[in-house]
Homo-oligomer: A and B are copies of this chain.
Amino acid sequence: MIVIMRAGASEKEIEGVLAHLRERELTPHISRGVQRTVIGVLGPVGPTGVAGALGGNITPELGPALEGLDGVEQVVEVSKPYKLASREFHPEPTVIRVASPDGDVLVGGREVVMMAGPCTVESGEQLLAAARAAKSGGAKILRGGAYKPSTSPYGFRGLGVAGLELLAQARAETGLATITEVMTPAEVELVCGYADILQIGARNMQNYYLLDEVGRTRKPVMLKRGLSATIEEWLLAAEYILSQGNPNVMLCERGIRTFERMTRNTVDINAVPLVKQLSHLPVIVDPSQGTGKRSLVASVSLAAVAAGADGLLVEIHPHPDAALKDGAQSLQLGQYAELMPRMRAVARAVGRA
């Protein structure tokens, strides 16, 4: 950590910073320039623990605390605040095994994995039609929401357990693995009983009790990036899950919120290669949420694969016009069938399967 003092900071102010560091058993290294003094801090990056027990570690609170001291202009973190999620700590890419009736599906390996299905489970018929189409197009994983976040309290919030049951039936019938959202700690155990991958939605990316809870399971978890989460915050949210002992975390870029409102969100395509450089975790892209427009889903899917995504999460629906939720961004089954060979061609062109 590097503390940059204001130009003209007084000796007393500099001494204040040094004292703050020494109290925490940290070793400051001072270097005085013509205009400014800069103080380097060495020490292992470590947890805060219980109140007061800060000794000897560069804790997450140290930087903000130093920024508040008199005479300090800026504090620069030198070490990354996440560890288990980082490539530095874990150079090999993580490959996650997802159980399915047809055998394990590997996420993060050579194959680009397609996850397809309706936004929301509406009925057995709807789900099964989508599941069959998903499978015949080449998907390995069936998506479908039983618990749905709704911006309005008057909106549809999912079928709940009945939806989970339908998902389990479609799984048995088609052999596909399943992914579904879990929204609150109290439901994690229940959802674990039905689904092969737990999805943490964008609005819950910083719901820390929920992250802790899914971290205590060993189920694969797909962690969606928050609407306005920086890449660092996203990796820190993954670190929550990893630090509870669950190594099976995949990340999902689903578009961020920007000033552009002609699309629902803005897919941050830069994040795909960047996160793969910073982290060993697999990266999935959701072009349905990411664009909000059916007419853009195919192009952005192909772009995601070309950029190096390990998988796609795509909404498909047998009758998007009659969908209860998000029909405007769901592909018709025929459009999905048409996309799949194009996706395979791009995957091959970038050396994936």
Contact = CB atoms under 8 A, between A and B. Distances in A.
A89 B16 CA distance: 25
Interface in A1-37: 2, 4, 7-8, 16, 20, 29, 31, 33-36
A348 B236 CA distance: 39
Given A7-B88, A209-B184, A274-B293, A328 B65 contact: yes
Interface in A304-330: 304-308, 320-330
A154 B76 contact: no
Contact of A328 (B64, B154, B302, B304): B64
Interface stretch (A129-137, A169-177, A257-265): A257-265
A68 B45 CA distance: 27
Contacts of A60: 150-152, 154-156
A257 B226 CA distance: 12
A323 B65 contact: yes
Contacts of A153: 47, 208, 211, 236, 239-240, 243
How many copies of this kind of chain does the complex include? 4
A204 to B, nearest CB: 7
B293 A299 contact: no
Contacts of A263: 270-271, 274
A38 B78 contact: yes
A233 interface: yes
Given A47-B154, A68-B329, A306 B346 contact: yes
A31 B67 CA distance: 22
A122 B295 contact: no
Contact of A227 (B211, B228, B277, B290): B228
A110 interface: no
Contacts of A161: none
Interface residues of A, number: 120
Contact of A269 (B186, B300, B350): B300
Nearest to A201: B206
Contact of A159 (B51, B259, B290): B51
A329 B68 CA distance: 7
Contacts of A236: 151-153
Contact of A68 (B151, B233, B308, B330): B330
B325 A61 contact: yes
Interface string A161-203: 0000000000000000000000111100000000000000001
A334 to B, nearest CB: 13
Contacts of A325: 61, 64
